[in-house]
Chains A and B, each alone.
Chain A
Amino acid sequence: MSRDPIYLDHAATTPVRSEVFEAMAPFFGPRFGNPSSTHRWGREARAALDEARERVAQCLGAAPDEVCFTSGGTEGDNLAVLGGWRILKAQGKKAVVTSPIEHKAVLQAVHQAAKEGAEERLLRVDATGTVALDDARAKLTPGDLALCSVMWINNETGVIQPIAELAELTKAAGAVFHTDAVQAFGKVEVDARKIPFDFVAVSGHKIGAPKGIGAFFIRRGTALEPLFFGGSQDRGRRPGTENVASAVGLARAMELAIAEREAHWRELEALRNELQAAIVAKIPDATIHGRDAKRAPHILNVSVPGTDSESLLMALDLQGIAASSGSACQSGSVTPSHVLSAMGVRAELANAAIRMSLGSLSTPADVARVAEVFPSLVAKARGLASVG
């Protein structure tokens, strides 16, 4: 590869920020103690962990006892859906409501709840990729409703979901509301004082903290059954020796994300708009998924008729451009997106989806080069498609 590679997959993961790395360093070295120990090493670690928890709480508009450290977004989603459901089941509640565009961490947890007796109900998603509020009004009603879980920003399209309204509706129905804010934190304001959600899952590695750490918000008074059993760490809600270094790193990353949020949004939005405009200008029949919805600025999901994501992603990668198709299965092969299907995108177009996600590494030069290379690869692919 003659040129520097271009990373357009920030929605998948981001590099650890230098400030975060520095903040974590002492806890791999001299301050290695176990926060549960009573000696000086333990006390030192405990102090750092408590401080990290306070800072994370501050970032979420929460009290420190409302914050629990997890291994990441998937664990948070599982804790919320299953930990929440198992308590509510015992109270005689039945329905677990979610949307068909959730991350697999929520969808699979909801399926598990269904195996344990829950009744799974899906909210309708409109063609813009937004959960339909009229359907939510019909389904989020008092009675047997246990829990509703809807993601804040969709990881494939960037579409922002009406979380405030959904949380209000759910609370009005006397049920528990969870939101997966993995793509949302650092993009929109996530404040427990302003929106009455019960649970929120945040992931560290999407915002410059390491993989393997996440924050989970549990509103005071909302009951939760733990998924793990062991010691009394994190008030027994998440037993296991705490990941002190990562917790400290997460606190730093969350603070930075909040401080930079508005400027970062404007910067990414300008880059995204430029990239989108260039692609649409050169490929007039390209479909930008979620274009007509309120969208976060870091995700551009585009389908070009007559191409397929699998070979286009290979061709991009061989040109040094890293993008994604949205959802990838374990073996790394591309599978059709459940998000686009739920939006009513026809299979042929869904199978051509390319998700480009911008972030800290993105530059105007990157956008300029992708705006050249992407249309030329599309033209080649379509030339072949028309021949054979």
Chain B
Amino acid sequence: MSGGVDSSVAAALLVRAGHDVVGVTMKLFHDGGETPDRPCCSLDSVNDARRVAESLGIPHYVLNLQDAFGRDVLQEFVAEYAAGRTPIPCVRCNTFTKFRDLLHTADRIEAPFIATGHYARVADGRLLRGVDDQKDQTYFLWGIERAVLDRMLLPVGAMTKAETREMARELGLLTAEKAESQEICFVPDGDYVKVLERELPADAPALVPGPIVTLDGTVVGTHDGFARYTVGQRRGLPGGHNEPLFVVALRPEDRAVVVGPRDALLGRGLVARGVNWLVGEVPGVGTPLRVRIRHRAALVPGTLLRVEGDEVEVALDTPVQAITPGQSVVFYDGDVVLGGGVIERGKRALPVRAA
């Protein structure tokens, strides 16, 4: 229970359905000064969760998962940016902190299920997209261990956000009108560079000046640290060119931010690693899939070209913009989440299936 409306309603629905519910709030980090209105971990959020639990008549506990979160999520977040990639900490938080570490705690109190306020559904041992297309959060859930699906309850996944809010009002939950949080919980003011500046040495290559180069190698300017840039970004680049420039790649080897026109962002394929499948039968080469390469990006049709261990290569039937190393790629069959992985690199040309 984060103290937000979704997990509050999830708990309320379970209580209403007659489950024996225990509320838990994860304390994931401590950023020194407690900032009000943070999506989680602030005193206010913990207090909100506690009050909701109290009003539902269920016990509530705060679990200190700061060490595990720091190791599995925060450090990796920093390391990825330092390597010129754009991570999604929420994926690793779900994979390791929520649906592994928190599940261990559930084991210890003999709780058979773990419920969250995610907009996603589980049916017949498969993970399905949430009913609310705008809110679907399966993009962040591909990394969990498949066996865990049988122990997940996602009560709001069958509802739209509007219905969730309506339900919260109906139940008189104090979190009913709480604002939506889109930010990364441990990033103050949405400025992730502050986190990097805190965690990395001042002379880290990712934070010191380097060249801005075009695809043909022409230096067109300098930047003050490639970790401040992400693929697809337009802001902070030199102007005065015939067409607007976008970041098309980050090259940590020579600290370069590579720029190009909008067309140069288009990709027709990608390679992903750390792939995790959430279905019993791993899709074989040639399987058509629907592919999402960014949260809220449109699903595009594609084909599996290569599966080697936990690495896959995918061809995209229609070109997509800004395939970004470090982001997730998630594969769907209709509403069913087949699996996902971390994007290693995009491919500008349509990849062909190896002979």
Contact = CB atoms under 8 A, between A and B. Distances in A.
Interface residues of B, number: 16
Interface string B42-67: 01001000100000000101111000
B64 A334 contact: yes
B105 A332 contact: no
Contacts of A333: 27, 62-64
Contact of B22 (A310, A314, A332, A380): A314
A10 to B, nearest CB: 21
A108 interface: no
A331 B108 contact: no
A330 B108 contact: no
B22 A318 contact: yes
Contacts of B197: none
A188 interface: no
A311 interface: yes
Contacts of B22: 314, 318
A334 B108 CA distance: 16
A315 B46 contact: no
Contacts of A335: 64
A331 B46 contact: yes
Interface in B103-119: 104-105, 107-110
Contacts of A384: 104, 107-108
Contacts of A381: 108
A314 B108 contact: yes
B273 to A, nearest CB: 26
A318 B108 CA distance: 11
A240 B61 CA distance: 37
A335 B66 CA distance: 10
B104 A331 contact: no
A283 B289 CA distance: 55
Interface string A306-326: 000011101101100000000
Interface string B308-351: 00000000000000000000000000000000000000000000
Nearest to B22: A318
Contacts of A332: 46, 50, 61-62
A322 to B, nearest CB: 11
Contacts of A29: none
Contacts of B59: 317-318
B109 A314 contact: yes
A315 B109 contact: yes
A381 B110 CA distance: 10
Given A318-B22, A331-B46, A310 B104 contact: no
The SS class assigned to the A binding surface is helix
For the complex, would chain B's binding face be called helix, strand, loop or mixed by DSSP majority?
mixed
Contact of A388 (B63, B104, B109, B110): B104
A310 B64 contact: yes
B43 A311 contact: no
Interface in A309-359: 310-312, 314-315, 317-318, 330-335
Contacts of B62: 331-333
B64 A311 contact: no
Given A332-B62, A333-B27, A334-B64, A311 B105 contact: yes
A380 B104 contact: no
B27 A331 contact: yes
A314 B104 contact: no
B334 to A, nearest CB: 34
A56 to B, nearest CB: 35
A373 to B, nearest CB: 13
B109 A310 contact: no
Nearest to A377: B108
Given A332-B62, A334-B64, A335-B64, A310 B105 contact: yes
Contacts of A388: 104, 107
B63 A310 contact: yes
Interface string A346-388: 0000000000000000000000000000000000110010001
A116 B24 CA distance: 40
Nearest to A387: B107
Nearest to B110: A380
Contacts of B109: 311, 314-315, 318
Most A CB atoms within 10 A — which of B46, B59, B107?
A: B107
Contacts of B43: 330-331
Residue in B43, B50, B61, B108 whose Cβ sees the most chain A Cβ within 10 Å:
B108
Nearest to A332: B62
A96 B196 CA distance: 38
A384 to B, nearest CB: 5
A331 B2 CA distance: 13
Contacts of B107: 384, 388
Contacts of B105: 310-311, 314
Interface of B: 22, 27, 43, 46, 50, 59, 61-64, 104-105, 107-110
Interface of A: 310-312, 314-315, 317-318, 330-335, 380-381, 384, 388
Given A315-B109, A334-B64, 8 more contacts: A310-B105, A311-B108, A312-B108, A314-B22, A318-B59, A331-B46, A332-B62, A333-B27
